Every structure is written in C-alpha cells, then in structure tokens.
Amino acid sequence: MEALVNKANVLIAQENLIEANKLLQKASQIKDSPYIHNAYGIIAQKQKQTDKAISSYQMALQLLPTFPQCLSNQATLLIETEKYSQALDLLKQALKTDQNNAEAHNNLGVLYYKQNKLELSQNEYMEAIKLKVHNPEAHSNQGVIFCAKQDYSQALQCFDEAIKLKNDFVKAYHNKGTTLYEKENFKEAVEIYDKAIKGKTQDPETYYNKSIALQGLEQFDDALNALEQAYKLSPEMALLYVEKGTLMYRKGKVDEAIKNYDLAIQLQPNCAEAYYNKGCALENQGKIDESNKNYEKAFQIKPTLVEKKK
C-alpha cells in the first residue's frame, strides 16, 4: 500500500493525475490510510475541486489529526479563499508537530505574502530552502518577493534556480515572464511564457500575461489569440474580458470595448479595472457623467488604482 501511495505522489508531482488516481484506488482496496486521502485531496485541489479537496483532507485528519503535510495542504485552500486566520492556525499546528517541515514554512511564506508581510514571507521561504535545498517552489516564491521589491535581478536568479531544480516548473517560467514584463523586456517575456505553455500549462493567467506582453510589442492580433486560449481554460475569468476590452479600445472599437467591460463586471461586480477602463471608454465618447460614475466606482473598490495606459 505504501509503495502505491508513494508512486502516486510522484505522478501527482508530474501532473499525471489520472494515473495517480488509479494507483490510489488500488491502495485504498488494500487498507484505508490518511496518506491516501491526503493524496486524493491534492489531486482534487489541482483540479480546482475545492469541496472534494476539503473533504479528503478532513478524512485524512480524522485518521491522523497531527498529519503535518495534510494540515499544511488544507491551509493552502484557506489561503486561496482568503481565510488567513484559519490558515495560520493550521500551519502553526503543522509546525508544532514538525518544526522542520519545509512545505509548511513555504506555505506560511505564501500566507504572509498574501498579507503583504514581505519580510516575514521571505524569512519563511529562506527557512524552507534551508530545510530542503532542492526546493523549486520556495526558490520561485522567494523570487516573487524580490519582484515585489522591484529587485528584478535577484528575482530572475531565484526563478532560474527554481527552473534548474525542476526544468518543467511551469510556475517558475510564468513568474520569470512576469518579472521580464515588469522590466519591459516584452520580447523575452513572451518567449518565457511560451516555454510555460510548452510545459502544458493549464493556467489561464499564463496566456493572459502573454497577451499583455504581446500588447507591449504592439502585436495586437497575437495578443487577442492568446486571450482566446485563456478563455478556453477559464471562461469566467473577468480580467480576460477587461483585457479584450482594452484591445478593442486600442483598435478604435469603443462600443465593443464597453461590451467586454460590462461582461467583466457581470462576472466580477467588484472588478475595479473594468469600471475604470469603462470610464475611459465612455469619456472617449464624450459621455462625461457616465464616465465619472464608473471612475468613482473603480476608486471606491480600489483606491490605489493607477491609470492604465491605453
């Protein structure tokens, strides 16, 4: 049973979820185990099946309440839903059981990053790397911190180290592309996003960011094609419609741009970027009162919103 679960975990790390699931089914026929339920939870989480993942983690913890990896995994779900206090409690429990758990330290770093506690976040990533040198996830996450601090050179070094440790690490390629975009190295950013895509990424944000980088190169048709690929993966991602609206605006198709901004607002009523860009489009049409209402709504939602270049 243990060998089957270990092999399943290897397959999960390789994103071969179907075969991993088959092995776990075989293992569960031999003996019930918290390690099986934890692995099922990881698969469900990767497939964005949140309720199923929570159920699997809870079953694992019923069998082994002090299971640090499972506590840490469940915390990542809570982080995704911005339940930071509950996530912190679980990570503290995990580290109380195993203070040398690199994964828990890495996830605690993610939690602090989400709370904009960059120094605390970086300390946790450093601890995770100290405990587990071959740790591409922590190296990549540390790069995100450097990028947030606008230390792009250090950020790129971290992403390169993560890729060196795991050549098919899509997330590291994605983050490296974002850093190159921030440096306005649009051509290199597109090349890196393409490497992530060749790694068979199912992350719509990679295509979304590629589209933005292509716009920096003024390759608008290619940018639109990248957005179309993102739609296929996540048709309810509001920012995709915001970005399509921006492309239509740049092409002079203002009415079509507004339609896309409205679609974004319909999907995500608190999407500040959609209101702001709609305000810009309405201002272009001379509809000043309507424009100001959208600007006001945007700034109510996101007071720090800065003007986007059209």
Range of the domain at 259: 236-310
200-253: pLDDT as tens digits: 667 788 899 999 999 999 999 999 999 999 988 888 889 999 999 999 998 899
Domain count, the chain: 2
- Is 250 inside any structural domain? yes
* CA gap 44, 42 in Å, rounded: 5
Q: With pLDDT > 90 as the criterion, what percentage of the chain qualifies? A: 79
Provide the residue type at 277 as one letter.
Answer: N
Digit-coded pLDDT (tens) for 103-144: 999 999 999 999 999 999 999 999 999 999 899 999 999 999
Better-predicted residue by pLDDT, 86 or 195: 86
The per-residue pLDDT for 309 is 36
The confidence band for 308, taking pLDDT boundaries of 50, 70 and 90, is very low
DSSP string computed for the chain = -HHHHHHHHHHHHTT-HHHHHHHHHHHHHH---HHHHHHHHHHHHHTT-HHHHHHHHHHHHHH-TT-HHHHHHHHHHHHHTT-HHHHHHHHHHHHHH-TT-HHHHHHHHHHHHHTT-HHHHHHHHHHHHHH-SS-HHHHHHHHHHHHHTT-HHHHHHHHHHHHHH-TT-HHHHHHHHHHHHHTT-HHHHHHHHHHHHHTT---HHHHHHHHHHHHHTT-HHHHHHHHHHHHHH-TT-HHHHHHHHHHHHHTT-HHHHHHHHHHHHHH-TT-HHHHHHHHHHHHHTT-HHHHHHHHHHHHHH-TT--PPP-
Is residue 41 pLDDT above 70, yes or no? yes
pLDDT in tens, 7-17: 999 998 877 88
For 148-176, what is the mean pLDDT?
93
Amino acid 200: pLDDT: 65
**Is residue 140 in some structural domain?**
no
Does this model's pTM top 0.85? no
Distance between CA atoms of 133 and 144, rounded to whole angstroms?
18
Can you give the CATH number for the domain in which 285 is found? Answer: 1.25.40.10
* Mean per-residue pLDDT, 273-298: 95
Residue 303 has a pLDDT of 85
309 within some domain? yes
Orientation of helix 136-148 relative to helix 102-114, angle to 10°: 20
Residue 269, φ and ψ in degrees, nearest 5: -60, -20
Would 80 be classed as within a structural domain? no
Given a cut of 50, whether residue 164 has pLDDT beyond it is yes
Among 42, 65, 88, the domain boundary falls at 65
Q: Is residue 3 part of a domain?
A: yes
Which residues in 35-47 are b (16+ Cβ under 10 Å) and which e?
A: bbbbbbbbbbbee
pLDDT higher than threshold 90 for residue 80? no
Q: How far apart are CA 141 and CA 163, in angstroms?
A: 12
Which residue did the predictor score with more confidence, 163 or 204?
Answer: 163
User: Residue 69 and residue 98: Cα distance in Å, rounded?
Assistant: 9
Q: Is residue 15 part of a domain?
A: yes
In a domain, 245, yes or no: yes
Confidence bin at 192 (pLDDT 50/70/90): very high
13-34 pLDDT, tens digit per residue, is 877 889 998 999 989 999 999 9
Average pLDDT score, the chain: 92
Which of 32, 65, 98 is the last residue in one of the domains?
65
- Answer whether residue 66 shows pLDDT above 80: yes
**Considering Cα of 32, then 33, then 34, then 38, what sign does the dihedral take?**
negative
- pLDDT at residue 16, as a whole number: 87
Sequence letter at residue 203: D
Of 65, 87, 109, the domain-final residue: 65
Q: CB-side exposure of 22: number of CA atoms within 13 Å?
A: 4
At residue 201, the pLDDT reads 62
Q: Is residue 279 part of a domain?
A: yes
Task: For residue 40, give the amino acid letter.
Answer: Y
